[in-house]
Amino acid sequence: MVEMTPQEIFEYKLKWKPGHTVRLHSDLVDQGKAWCRKWLERQNWSMTEYTDVYEHTFHFKCMEAANDFSVAMPEEFVNQ
């Protein structure tokens, strides 16, 4: 895929967000971000901090990515 500028990524995300969401305990935010950076292109995921107490919400363009993310994270820390 062609490299996108930060502005293009922002505009692209506006078209598909909120997408498919997975809520993750805040203790695992670094692990969640690392997984996303390794497996997904930046324009296909996003994260909103503190959407609930001790919880962040990860947003994915594709359902498959959301499911893969959920499986990769420890089960007791994931809510869909």
Is 45 a member of any domain?
yes
Residue-number span of the structural domain to which 49 is assigned: 6-79
Q: What is the pTM of this model?
A: 0.88
Q: Is 37 exposed, middle or buried (0-12, 13-18, 19+ CB in 10 A)?
A: exposed
What pLDDT, on the 0 to 100 scale, is given for residue 80?
Answer: 63
Tally the domains of the chain: 1
Of 80 and 74, the one with more pLDDT: 74
Is 1 a member of any domain?
no
Q: What is the mean pLDDT of residues 57-74?
A: 95
**Residue 26 carries which DSSP code?**
G
15-60, pLDDT tens digit by residue? Answer: 999 999 999 999 999 999 999 999 999 999 999 999 999 999 999 9
Contacts for 5 with CB less than 8 Å, ≥ 6 apart: none
